[in-house]
Amino acid sequence: MPSILYIHGFNSSPASLKARQLTACMTRLGLADRLRAPALPNDADAAFALLEHELAELDAPLLVGSSLGGYYATVLAERHGLKAVLINPAVRPWRFMEHYLGLQRNHHTGETWILTEAHVEAMRALEVAAPADPERFHVWLQTGDETLDYRDAERYYGACTLRIEQGGDHGFQGFHRQLPLLLELAGFDPALWRELDFNTFE
């Protein structure tokens, strides 16, 4: 049966707006058990160990990664031959993470932690080449992203299916309107949401 693994971004959590919207949608459809949205450790190696564990409990899920989660999703998709939807993904995040070294605070949990060179190097060590099978990747970008330059992802994922919207922001405004497409890409039967008003998840 289809499933989804949602991967949040840097200093984010399953309490992010997109994660909550997706969780609410899956719950409304009676598919809560087909979604995983884990809270990732700050260390890339630990985060990957958790993601690999989640993968082992799902049957070839659609990977949905936001920002740094988009980088993680790319690596996982290449390692396991999975499909992925990347939302304003970070491209080679270690290049700019060096500017954030030091004290960090999670946007949702309030947790404080220290970003070190070791964290940055662990991210760099995960690097994979641009997708070998671009048909497996859908990349959703908004030009108003205030955190990442969308053109970096546009170039890196240029052979993939790109959806570039004018305006918006790093959080990807209007994500709830893309939920039907997300579910379809995951392989769920559209008949499940024929009567559902996705605006209720705004």
Between β-strands 137-142 and 161-165, what pairing exists: parallel, antiparallel or unpaired? Answer: parallel
For residue 97, the domain's CATH number is 3.40.50.1820
Q: Supply the pLDDT for residue 1.
A: 87
Mean pLDDT by 10 residues, the chain (202 residues): 96 96 97 97 96 93 98 96 98 89 94 96 93 95 96 96 97 97 97 94 92
Q: How many domains are there within the chain? A: 1
What is the model's pLDDT at position 192?
94
Determine the structural domain holding residue 76 and report its residue range: 4-201
Which of 87, 96, 91 lies closest to 169, judged by CA? 87
- Pull the structure tokens for residue 18: 């997109």
Give the whole-angstrom CA distance, residue 53 versus residue 94.
24
Which pTM does this prediction carry? 0.97
User: What is the structure's pLDDT at 59?
Assistant: 86
